[in-house]
Structure 1
Protein backbone atom coordinates (compact mmCIF):
# COMPACT_ATOMS: atom_id res chain seq x y z
CA UNK A 1 0.00 0.00 0.00
CA UNK A 2 1.26 3.48 -0.80
CA UNK A 3 1.03 6.66 1.27
CA UNK A 4 0.92 8.90 -1.81
CA UNK A 5 -2.06 11.21 -2.07
CA UNK A 6 -4.11 10.66 -5.22
CA UNK A 7 -3.26 13.15 -7.95
CA UNK A 8 -4.12 14.13 -11.49
CA UNK A 9 -1.60 14.20 -14.29
CA UNK A 10 -0.90 17.64 -15.82
CA UNK A 11 -3.25 17.10 -18.78
CA UNK A 12 -6.11 16.00 -16.49
CA UNK A 13 -5.55 18.93 -14.17
CA UNK A 14 -5.44 21.38 -17.09
CA UNK A 15 -8.62 19.92 -18.62
CA UNK A 16 -10.41 20.15 -15.28
CA UNK A 17 -9.39 23.76 -14.63
CA UNK A 18 -10.27 24.73 -18.22
CA UNK A 19 -13.71 23.17 -17.85
CA UNK A 20 -14.36 24.97 -14.56
CA UNK A 21 -13.18 28.34 -15.92
CA UNK A 22 -15.10 28.04 -19.21
CA UNK A 23 -18.21 26.98 -17.31
CA UNK A 24 -17.96 29.95 -14.94
CA UNK A 25 -17.27 32.51 -17.66
CA UNK A 26 -20.05 31.22 -19.92
CA UNK A 27 -22.56 30.97 -17.09
CA UNK A 28 -21.83 34.58 -16.07
CA UNK A 29 -22.52 35.82 -19.62
CA UNK A 30 -25.65 33.70 -19.94
CA UNK A 31 -27.01 34.77 -16.55
CA UNK A 32 -26.52 38.43 -17.42
CA UNK A 33 -28.38 38.01 -20.72
CA UNK A 34 -31.24 36.08 -19.06
CA UNK A 35 -31.68 38.80 -16.41
CA UNK A 36 -31.70 41.56 -19.01
CA UNK A 37 -33.98 39.84 -21.55
CA UNK A 38 -36.41 38.03 -19.28
CA UNK A 39 -35.68 38.82 -15.62
CA UNK A 40 -34.84 35.12 -15.16
CA UNK A 41 -32.19 33.37 -13.13
CA UNK A 42 -30.19 30.60 -14.79
CA UNK A 43 -32.17 27.93 -12.91
CA UNK A 44 -35.50 29.53 -13.79
CA UNK A 45 -34.49 29.53 -17.45
CA UNK A 46 -33.48 25.85 -17.22
CA UNK A 47 -36.86 24.99 -15.71
CA UNK A 48 -38.82 26.89 -18.34
CA UNK A 49 -36.70 25.46 -21.16
CA UNK A 50 -37.20 21.88 -19.92
CA UNK A 51 -40.92 22.44 -19.58
CA UNK A 52 -41.05 24.09 -22.99
CA UNK A 53 -39.35 21.02 -24.51
CA UNK A 54 -41.67 18.54 -22.78
CA UNK A 55 -44.40 17.32 -25.17
CA UNK A 56 -47.18 18.29 -22.75
CA UNK A 57 -45.33 21.24 -21.25
CA UNK A 58 -45.49 19.43 -17.90
CA UNK A 59 -43.01 17.54 -15.72
CA UNK A 60 -42.99 16.23 -12.17
CA UNK A 61 -40.98 18.31 -9.71
CA UNK A 62 -38.62 15.42 -8.90
CA UNK A 63 -37.88 14.89 -12.60
CA UNK A 64 -37.20 18.60 -13.02
CA UNK A 65 -34.91 18.62 -9.98
CA UNK A 66 -32.94 15.68 -11.35
CA UNK A 67 -32.80 17.17 -14.83
CA UNK A 68 -31.40 20.53 -13.76
CA UNK A 69 -29.37 19.05 -10.87
CA UNK A 70 -30.96 21.25 -8.25
CA UNK A 71 -32.17 20.50 -4.74
CA UNK A 72 -35.83 19.69 -4.21
CA UNK A 73 -36.26 22.58 -1.79
CA UNK A 74 -34.47 25.00 -4.13
CA UNK A 75 -36.61 23.86 -7.04
CA UNK A 76 -39.77 24.29 -4.96
CA UNK A 77 -38.73 27.88 -4.25
CA UNK A 78 -37.89 28.62 -7.90
CA UNK A 79 -41.14 27.04 -9.12
CA UNK A 80 -43.00 29.23 -6.60
CA UNK A 81 -41.31 32.37 -7.98
CA UNK A 82 -42.20 31.33 -11.54
CA UNK A 83 -45.77 30.52 -10.49
CA UNK A 84 -46.19 33.92 -8.81
CA UNK A 85 -44.95 35.51 -12.05
CA UNK A 86 -47.56 33.51 -13.99
CA UNK A 87 -44.96 31.57 -15.98
CA UNK A 88 -45.86 28.10 -14.62
CA UNK A 89 -48.65 26.40 -12.73
CA UNK A 90 -48.30 23.67 -10.11
CA UNK A 91 -50.82 20.95 -9.34
CA UNK A 92 -50.92 17.39 -8.04
CA UNK A 93 -49.54 15.02 -10.68
CA UNK A 94 -52.38 13.17 -12.43
CA UNK A 95 -50.67 9.78 -12.00
CA UNK A 96 -49.60 10.28 -8.37
CA UNK A 97 -51.30 12.86 -6.17
CA UNK A 98 -48.31 12.81 -3.80
CA UNK A 99 -46.20 14.29 -6.59
CA UNK A 100 -46.42 17.83 -7.91
CA UNK A 101 -46.51 18.55 -11.62
CA UNK A 102 -45.28 21.85 -13.05
CA UNK A 103 -46.70 23.15 -16.34
CA UNK A 104 -45.43 26.05 -18.43
CA UNK A 105 -48.03 28.71 -19.23
CA UNK A 106 -48.39 30.75 -22.41
CA UNK A 107 -46.72 33.63 -20.53
CA UNK A 108 -43.82 31.28 -19.75
CA UNK A 109 -43.54 30.35 -23.41
CA UNK A 110 -43.55 34.04 -24.33
CA UNK A 111 -40.66 34.72 -21.94
CA UNK A 112 -38.71 31.84 -23.50
CA UNK A 113 -39.41 33.36 -26.92
CA UNK A 114 -37.93 36.66 -25.72
CA UNK A 115 -34.78 35.21 -24.15
CA UNK A 116 -33.85 32.49 -26.66
CA UNK A 117 -32.51 34.73 -29.46
CA UNK A 118 -30.08 36.48 -27.09
CA UNK A 119 -29.25 33.19 -25.38
CA UNK A 120 -28.29 31.61 -28.69
CA UNK A 121 -26.28 34.70 -29.64
CA UNK A 122 -24.29 34.50 -26.37
CA UNK A 123 -23.58 30.80 -26.96
CA UNK A 124 -22.43 31.44 -30.53
CA UNK A 125 -20.27 34.47 -29.61
CA UNK A 126 -18.83 33.29 -26.31
CA UNK A 127 -18.56 29.53 -26.78
CA UNK A 128 -18.94 28.16 -30.30
CA UNK A 129 -17.02 30.94 -32.10
CA UNK A 130 -13.74 29.49 -30.82
CA UNK A 131 -14.54 25.97 -32.04
CA UNK A 132 -14.56 24.26 -35.43
CA UNK A 133 -17.34 21.86 -36.40
CA UNK A 134 -14.97 18.98 -35.61
CA UNK A 135 -14.20 20.54 -32.21
CA UNK A 136 -17.91 20.79 -31.42
CA UNK A 137 -18.47 17.16 -32.41
CA UNK A 138 -15.50 15.97 -30.31
CA UNK A 139 -16.57 18.08 -27.33
CA UNK A 140 -20.14 16.80 -27.60
CA UNK A 141 -18.92 13.20 -27.69
CA UNK A 142 -16.52 13.62 -24.76
CA UNK A 143 -18.91 15.56 -22.54
CA UNK A 144 -21.74 13.19 -23.46
CA UNK A 145 -19.69 10.26 -22.17
CA UNK A 146 -18.88 12.11 -18.94
CA UNK A 147 -22.53 13.12 -18.49
CA UNK A 148 -23.71 9.55 -19.05
CA UNK A 149 -21.11 8.27 -16.58
CA UNK A 150 -22.23 10.76 -13.94
CA UNK A 151 -25.94 10.13 -14.61
CA UNK A 152 -25.44 6.35 -14.21
CA UNK A 153 -25.75 6.87 -10.44
CA UNK A 154 -29.29 7.02 -9.04
CA UNK A 155 -30.92 10.43 -9.46
CA UNK A 156 -30.67 12.89 -6.60
CA UNK A 157 -34.41 12.60 -5.95
CA UNK A 158 -33.92 8.89 -5.19
CA UNK A 159 -31.28 9.61 -2.54
CA UNK A 160 -32.53 9.53 1.03
CA UNK A 161 -33.02 12.93 2.59
CA UNK A 162 -30.58 13.89 5.29
CA UNK A 163 -32.20 14.76 8.55
CA UNK A 164 -31.19 17.97 10.26
CA UNK A 165 -29.01 17.41 13.26
CA UNK A 166 -28.13 13.90 12.11
Structure 2
Protein backbone atom coordinates (compact mmCIF):
# COMPACT_ATOMS: atom_id res chain seq x y z
CA UNK A 1 0.00 0.00 0.00
CA UNK A 2 1.49 3.32 -1.06
CA UNK A 3 0.24 6.43 0.71
CA UNK A 4 0.62 10.06 -0.11
CA UNK A 5 2.88 12.23 2.03
CA UNK A 6 0.90 13.77 4.84
CA UNK A 7 -1.60 10.88 5.13
CA UNK A 8 -3.08 11.42 8.62
CA UNK A 9 -3.14 7.68 9.38
CA UNK A 10 0.56 7.29 8.57
CA UNK A 11 1.40 10.48 10.51
CA UNK A 12 -0.53 9.09 13.49
CA UNK A 13 1.21 5.73 13.18
CA UNK A 14 4.62 7.41 13.11
CA UNK A 15 3.74 9.35 16.29
CA UNK A 16 2.61 6.14 18.00
CA UNK A 17 5.77 4.29 16.94
CA UNK A 18 7.96 7.12 18.24
CA UNK A 19 6.04 7.11 21.52
CA UNK A 20 6.33 3.33 21.77
CA UNK A 21 10.06 3.45 21.08
CA UNK A 22 10.66 6.25 23.57
CA UNK A 23 8.55 4.53 26.24
CA UNK A 24 10.16 1.15 25.67
CA UNK A 25 13.64 2.65 25.98
CA UNK A 26 12.74 4.63 29.11
CA UNK A 27 11.05 1.62 30.69
CA UNK A 28 13.95 -0.66 29.81
CA UNK A 29 16.43 1.61 31.53
CA UNK A 30 14.12 2.19 34.50
CA UNK A 31 13.27 -1.50 34.92
CA UNK A 32 16.83 -2.77 34.67
CA UNK A 33 19.30 -0.01 35.54
CA UNK A 34 22.25 -2.44 35.36
CA UNK A 35 21.74 -2.71 31.59
CA UNK A 36 21.34 0.06 29.07
CA UNK A 37 18.74 -0.46 26.37
CA UNK A 38 21.55 -1.22 23.90
CA UNK A 39 23.14 -3.74 26.30
CA UNK A 40 19.76 -5.38 26.82
CA UNK A 41 19.15 -5.56 23.05
CA UNK A 42 22.57 -7.06 22.30
CA UNK A 43 22.44 -9.60 25.11
CA UNK A 44 18.90 -10.59 24.11
CA UNK A 45 19.98 -11.18 20.53
CA UNK A 46 23.02 -13.21 21.56
CA UNK A 47 20.91 -15.36 23.89
CA UNK A 48 18.11 -15.85 21.37
CA UNK A 49 20.55 -16.95 18.66
CA UNK A 50 22.58 -19.08 21.09
CA UNK A 51 25.60 -17.03 20.13
CA UNK A 52 26.09 -14.34 17.52
CA UNK A 53 28.99 -13.12 15.46
CA UNK A 54 29.76 -9.41 15.65
CA UNK A 55 28.99 -9.27 11.91
CA UNK A 56 25.50 -10.67 12.62
CA UNK A 57 24.89 -7.82 15.04
CA UNK A 58 26.22 -5.25 12.57
CA UNK A 59 23.75 -6.50 9.96
CA UNK A 60 20.85 -6.75 12.36
CA UNK A 61 21.20 -3.28 13.85
CA UNK A 62 22.42 -1.57 10.68
CA UNK A 63 25.25 0.21 12.45
CA UNK A 64 28.94 0.18 11.69
CA UNK A 65 31.36 -2.47 12.88
CA UNK A 66 33.33 -0.13 15.13
CA UNK A 67 30.20 0.80 17.09
CA UNK A 68 29.32 -2.86 17.67
CA UNK A 69 32.95 -3.59 18.58
CA UNK A 70 32.91 -0.85 21.23
CA UNK A 71 29.59 -2.07 22.67
CA UNK A 72 30.73 -5.70 22.75
CA UNK A 73 34.08 -4.72 24.30
CA UNK A 74 32.26 -2.81 27.05
CA UNK A 75 29.99 -5.80 27.70
CA UNK A 76 33.03 -8.08 27.79
CA UNK A 77 34.88 -5.79 30.25
CA UNK A 78 31.77 -5.75 32.45
CA UNK A 79 31.81 -9.54 32.49
CA UNK A 80 28.47 -9.81 30.66
CA UNK A 81 29.73 -11.42 27.44
CA UNK A 82 32.03 -14.34 26.66
CA UNK A 83 33.55 -15.33 23.34
CA UNK A 84 33.67 -18.91 22.09
CA UNK A 85 34.74 -20.52 18.85
CA UNK A 86 31.85 -21.50 16.57
CA UNK A 87 31.40 -25.28 16.54
CA UNK A 88 31.40 -25.42 12.73
CA UNK A 89 34.33 -23.03 12.19
CA UNK A 90 36.92 -22.60 14.94
CA UNK A 91 38.14 -19.33 13.35
CA UNK A 92 34.74 -17.67 13.94
CA UNK A 93 34.10 -16.19 17.37
CA UNK A 94 30.56 -16.32 18.73
CA UNK A 95 29.43 -13.92 21.43
CA UNK A 96 27.31 -15.32 24.26
CA UNK A 97 25.95 -13.76 27.43
CA UNK A 98 28.08 -14.85 30.39
CA UNK A 99 26.40 -16.38 33.44
CA UNK A 100 26.16 -12.87 34.92
CA UNK A 101 24.85 -11.53 31.60
CA UNK A 102 22.18 -14.27 31.52
CA UNK A 103 21.24 -13.48 35.12
CA UNK A 104 20.78 -9.76 34.39
CA UNK A 105 18.97 -10.56 31.15
CA UNK A 106 16.56 -12.95 32.92
CA UNK A 107 15.82 -10.33 35.57
CA UNK A 108 15.31 -7.64 32.93
CA UNK A 109 13.09 -9.93 30.85
CA UNK A 110 10.89 -10.74 33.85
CA UNK A 111 10.45 -7.04 34.62
CA UNK A 112 9.77 -6.19 30.98
CA UNK A 113 7.20 -8.99 30.72
CA UNK A 114 5.44 -7.66 33.82
CA UNK A 115 5.41 -4.16 32.32
CA UNK A 116 3.82 -5.39 29.07
CA UNK A 117 1.39 -7.56 31.03
CA UNK A 118 0.33 -4.53 33.06
CA UNK A 119 -0.14 -2.37 29.96
CA UNK A 120 -2.26 -5.02 28.27
CA UNK A 121 -4.33 -5.82 31.35
CA UNK A 122 -7.94 -6.15 30.24
CA UNK A 123 -7.02 -6.95 26.64
CA UNK A 124 -8.33 -10.16 25.17
CA UNK A 125 -5.84 -12.81 24.05
CA UNK A 126 -6.93 -12.04 20.47
CA UNK A 127 -6.07 -8.34 20.90
CA UNK A 128 -2.61 -9.19 22.26
CA UNK A 129 -2.07 -11.71 19.44
CA UNK A 130 -3.19 -9.13 16.84
CA UNK A 131 -0.80 -6.47 18.17
CA UNK A 132 2.07 -8.98 18.22
CA UNK A 133 1.26 -10.15 14.72
CA UNK A 134 1.04 -6.64 13.30
CA UNK A 135 4.27 -5.55 14.98
CA UNK A 136 6.03 -8.67 13.67
CA UNK A 137 4.73 -7.93 10.18
CA UNK A 138 5.88 -4.32 10.43
CA UNK A 139 9.31 -5.32 11.77
CA UNK A 140 9.95 -7.86 9.01
CA UNK A 141 8.89 -5.55 6.16
CA UNK A 142 11.60 -4.08 3.99
CA UNK A 143 12.76 -0.73 5.28
CA UNK A 144 14.44 0.42 2.09
CA UNK A 145 13.32 3.93 1.28
CA UNK A 146 12.24 4.51 -2.32
CA UNK A 147 14.58 6.56 -4.48
CA UNK A 148 13.65 10.21 -4.55
CA UNK A 149 12.92 11.61 -7.98
For the criterion TM > 0.5, the same-fold answer is yes
* Bucket of the pairwise TM-score, normalised by the shorter protein: 0.7 to 0.9
Structure 1 residue 83 displacement after superposition? 0.6
Structure 1 residue 120 displacement after superposition? 1.5
- RMSD (Å) for aligned C-alpha atoms: 2.5
CA distances 1:124-166 after superposition (whole Å, capped 9, x unpaired): 22x4337432222222222222222226x6xxxxxxxxxxxxx
- 2:9 paired residue number: 11
* 8 A Cα contact 2:53 2:95, kept in partner: yes
Q: What is the number of equivalent residue pairs in this alignment?
A: 140
Aligned mate of 1:95, from 89, 93, 99? 89
CA distances 1:15-49 after superposition (whole Å, capped 9, x unpaired): 221121122122211221121xxx11111111212
Q: Tell me which of the two structures has the higher relative contact order, counting C-alpha pairs closer than 8 angstroms and 6 or more residues apart.
A: 1
In the alignment, structure 1 segments of 5+ residues that lack a partner are 1-5, 154-166
SS of the aligned residue for 1:89 comes to: strand
CA distance in 1, matches of 2:63, 2:125: 31
Of 104-113 and 41-50, more deviation after overlay is shown by 104-113
Give the TM-score taking structure 1 as reference length: 0.70
Structure 1's consecutive aligned runs of 4 or more residues displaced over 4 angstroms after TM superposition are 91-94
Give the TM-score taking structure 2 as reference length: 0.76
Structure 1 residue 91 displacement after superposition? 5.5
* 8 A Cα contact 2:28 2:112, kept in partner: yes
